[in-house]
Amino acid sequence: MKKTYIAVTLSLALFGMSTASHAATSMDDTGFYVGAGYGQYSFQFEDRENDIDFDEDAGVLKGYVGAQFSPYLGIELAYLNFDELNDNDNYSEVYGYSLAGRLSLPLSERFSLYAKGGWFEWEAKVSANTPAFIDISSTQEGGDVFYGVGMQYAFTQHWQTRLEYERFELEDDIDPDMDVASLSIQYMF
């Protein structure tokens, strides 16, 4: 009797694991997608030579397209438009394009965690008033590595939402850093 009970319990456990494994892959999680999001970013830079310290927060809009090749691997192209920042003495406006690889870890049929990293090609307009009342303005551009982490939830097979954090460390004379937290909605084809 005990052996039968153990055999039935093991069989049910194996069947449950098999069903859970099948459920995790039953939604089609490969294909192309488009999405849009809004978030908050922090823009920080320090120019010791001109005695300028800038640290402000504002919104960011983003749109993206991507391809998910498997449940674990994808690629994404995005446009990011960072709202202008102004603290009476300093002004900044940044926008750019990014290309990133995404590594996903599906935790269930609908929920996954991911990490991404890639290249951000950007342009920034910056102006500042120094303590000596000298106005310094410049337009700068460049390309730098960025990285991020996030979580994604699928409402249906086609509609999904994401919450993510990204870090942009722009290498330039003023070495600005941008931390972005955003919420997006996307449609998987």
Q: Could you read off the pLDDT of 60-97 as tens digits, one per residue?
A: 999 999 999 999 999 999 999 998 877 767 777 889 99
User: Taking 80 as the threshold, does the pLDDT of residue 113 lie above it?
Assistant: yes
Cα dihedral across residues 11, 13, 14, 20: positive or negative: positive
User: Taking 80 as the threshold, does the pLDDT of residue 101 lie above it?
Assistant: yes
Q: Could you read off the pLDDT of 4-60 as tens digits, one per residue?
A: 444 444 444 444 444 444 444 456 678 999 999 999 998 776 666 666 666 778 899
Say what the pTM is: 0.75
Q: Give Cβ neighbours of residue 113 (< 8 Å, ≥ 6 apart).
A: 104, 105, 107, 149, 150, 151, 152
Q: Give Cβ neighbours of residue 41 (< 8 Å, ≥ 6 apart).
A: 57, 58, 59, 60, 82, 178, 179, 180, 181
**pLDDT at site 173:** 57
